Structure 1
């Protein structure tokens, strides 16, 4: 789990490198995902299941703005990895400086717009009925901290590109632990309700930002910026944008999916059905953490070796990453198929003297979540190929195939399916859309990845 210098990405054994890069990334994603999971459990138990639905409504907006930072971070990180592999440190520095400037500018504009249209955006994302007021409280407070979230996402990707996964892991752990502690204090001890949940999240963004700032200013980073690196460079920005657009498009599609799912499920079953999806959405973030960790660990290895023209190592990294991720995905799949009832029960309040409405909502959620969860995760063992395949094209700077394959699963297949199937199958049509999209996207990605390997990695 030790950090590596960037040149070791081109010399150490691939399996050893992947473990060094993926284990810290997996732990960081695990802790961050556990934060989301436990945060939802706290909110569900201490405030109520409608509160979970309210947070689920706000996620698409804050998620998208935060994703701007992630997109800029991953787009620039691909450039930095390849620049370091080609021993072009000046390009790496220019890239990082431009990442900082564009992240600040874009996210501040987005937050300003987001706060100006609060009452229109919340209902559009499914915040209707009794969900609206709780969602509005959470939305306004969290949005103030979202520029910090974007900077955190961007900085974390750069830290990984330098071959410092241990620091990236710590940057993810600090806000997660901080958020849970703040949750306990603000919600359980001080009884601040949704305001407490929102402030806990916003403070966690600040804690993460403080640590990332420390990393870059304290001498741990290889990227020593000067003022001249902070000016906008059109050539650099164009490449960051083209590669970052892949990640941004993926996250934008996720936001659109939340919007569609919240509205479709509200129409099918009201607030309780939105709560079912909120629980499943948390599990989608949490359960696949080891697969996402392998994907994150794979990116700098593939990018560096491609930049150094070591194509045999690139091909080996693809096969090794797919193998590791597939094994982990199968383990996750097994657990979710066996324990869905127990998982659903964790999110529900067991406090005494609940109202009839709360009791009815809990009963509905507990009855409907397990079967939905089994359908949603039915194709989990095969998604490793799709995720690694799409990540490969992004790592080597091929923006167009990376974009198309990234959008393939959720954009090209899943969204049309959830717009069509519920009209004939009701809520079942929503849930079976997940595995159908996974299978179709994996077939398409496997075809294009095989062609790429045979043509360019020989």
Structure 2
């Protein structure tokens, strides 16, 4: 039994697709549950009596801050995990442990700094993000409490990468599941029974993330982990910090630019459509988060398999992983596109039943998700670059799709032919077609060809 278990942690033997699926199924489920932290908050808040639309809009205004917190977790977690996996593939356990320890130290330092800075500047930030005098109190009430749990969010998200990188996909799923299920239970208790409203949603989230963070630390310092976290490994090494942050920059930039896009979208929608359209964008962002879960879960699961085999110089297995990952992502996003096209009412009514939001939200949903299958190419190419250490390529294509394409289009398209709010939603599919194609084609002409050599 022990021998079989060890083989399952060795990504260099057996079926590549099976190795990815062993991680992907629990990891995707874990990410689904993780998204429930914020999505469930929006579902409950979006159905509050009398103030549902204003409260939903208010919580939507905090999304850029939540995205920024996620970005820093990705910077150190997703930056360190591929390096960790490569050293595992090379059987260099001490260096792998040091990489994990340095990643954890960076998460602690930046988690505390980020929490403090966001709290000090939250009022100007929220108005910059598109808040009005009506929606600001709701956004402020949620964010003030949420920021108290920033460090827990970053530990839970960032360090869970090192559980998955060791092949413990089920344990990684449990890490997130425990906190998310707790959040699902506590939300209605604090929101409705204790009458705390939007503040109750934030309190439930902080408590739940704290439990998740403690679970991660318990596992990584316990006997079941193949490589454990130790105090000695947390001593900062400049070269490792540079390597971790360089490789994590692609995921960081992707999250930061997502936050920047949310800010620009909200501000532009406030100008052309008012609070109602910020509420619509909150719903669209929620649907997008759910849709992205299987794609993220699958590409993230493929990364340790690709990194391990790349470190072990088993290039044929790396190519098999890229092929399997790409086909899955394209097929899945085509199915999602069909569901959104034919059943838009369902996706919106999960979050809000306001007739005005529903009438204006359906055409916006159709425009925003048009051709979503092209996004799969971006995710596949991006994940390959990260897994194999092509940090410059990963960073470039992170910036290209969001910063170079989406943000300028979001500002410019509403002024073209009186497109208004439609122009804001149109920027996303255009970026998927251009950015997705550019990223994937470049990966095929660079990485894929070198794997043949």
| TM-score where L is the length of structure 1 | 0.94
Runs of 4+ in 1 over 4 A off after TM superposition: 2-7
**Per-residue displacement from partner, 1:72-99 (whole Å, max 9, x unpaired)?**
0010001101000011111101101111
Matches of 2:9 and 2:136, distance apart in 1:
52
Please report how far the alpha carbon of residue 217 of structure 1 lies from its aligned counterpart in structure 2 after TM superposition.
Answer: 2.6
Q: In the alignment, what sits opposite 1:233? A: 237
> Which secondary structure state, in structure 1, belongs to the residue aligned with residue 41 of structure 2?
helix
> Which secondary structure state, in structure 1, belongs to the residue aligned with residue 273 of structure 2?
helix
Matches of 1:258 and 1:336, distance apart in 2:
21
Q: In the alignment, what sits opposite 2:429? A: 435
Matches of 1:175 and 1:240, distance apart in 2:
27
Matches of 1:42 and 1:106, distance apart in 2:
31
Q: Choose which of 34, 52, 56 in structure 2 pairs with 1:32.
A: 34
Q: In the alignment, what sits opposite 2:364? A: 372
Matches of 1:334 and 1:3, distance apart in 2:
40
Q: In the alignment, what sits opposite 2:15? A: 13
**Per-residue displacement from partner, 1:303-349 (whole Å, max 9, x unpaired)?**
11111111111111100110111111112111111111122122225
Matches of 1:418 and 1:306, distance apart in 2:
39
- Give the 3 Å change call, closer, same or farther, for CA 317–264 of structure 1 in structure 2: same
Q: Choose which of 99, 106, 113 in structure 2 pairs with 1:102.
A: 106
> Which secondary structure state, in structure 2, belongs to the residue aligned with residue 223 of structure 1?
coil
* Contact kept? 2:37, 2:205, Cα under 8 Å: no
* Contact kept? 1:3, 1:166, Cα under 8 Å: no
Q: In the alignment, what sits opposite 2:315? A: 311
* Contact kept? 1:67, 1:150, Cα under 8 Å: no
Please report how far the alpha carbon of residue 23 of structure 1 lies from its aligned counterpart in structure 2 after TM superposition.
Answer: 1.0
| TM-score where L is the length of structure 2 | 0.95
Q: In the alignment, what sits opposite 2:179? A: 175
Q: Choose which of 380, 387, 393 in structure 1 pairs with 2:379.
A: 387
Q: In the alignment, what sits opposite 1:325? A: 329
**Per-residue displacement from partner, 1:369-391 (whole Å, max 9, x unpaired)?**
11111111111123222101111
* Contact kept? 2:405, 2:431, Cα under 8 Å: yes
Which consecutive residues of structure 1, in runs of 5 or more, have no partner in the other structure?
A: 350-361
Matches of 1:193 and 1:232, distance apart in 2:
42
* Greater Cα offset, 440-449 or 84-93: 440-449
Please report how far the alpha carbon of residue 152 of structure 1 lies from its aligned counterpart in structure 2 after TM superposition.
Answer: 1.0
CA RMSD between the two structures: 1.6
* Contact kept? 2:380, 2:440, Cα under 8 Å: no
Please report how far the alpha carbon of residue 32 of structure 1 lies from its aligned counterpart in structure 2 after TM superposition.
Answer: 2.3
> Which secondary structure state, in structure 2, belongs to the residue aligned with residue 379 of structure 1?
coil
> Which secondary structure state, in structure 2, belongs to the residue aligned with residue 397 of structure 1?
coil
- Give the 3 Å change call, closer, same or farther, for CA 34–330 of structure 1 in structure 2: farther
Alignment of structure 1 residues 391-410 onto 2, 5 Å? 391-410=383-402
Q: Would you say how many aligned residue pairs link Structure 1 and Structure 2?
A: 445
Residue 417, structure 1, aligned to residue 409, structure 2: yes
* Contact kept? 2:87, 2:95, Cα under 8 Å: yes
Matches of 1:3 and 1:412, distance apart in 2:
46
* Contact kept? 2:30, 2:176, Cα under 8 Å: yes
> Which secondary structure state, in structure 2, belongs to the residue aligned with residue 176 of structure 1?
helix
Alignment of structure 1 residues 217-366 onto 2, 5 Å? 217-348=221-352, 362-366=354-358
> Which secondary structure state, in structure 2, belongs to the residue aligned with residue 232 of structure 1?
coil
**Per-residue displacement from partner, 1:18-61 (whole Å, max 9, x unpaired)?**
11111111111222234433321111112511111111111211
Matches of 1:93 and 1:417, distance apart in 2:
44
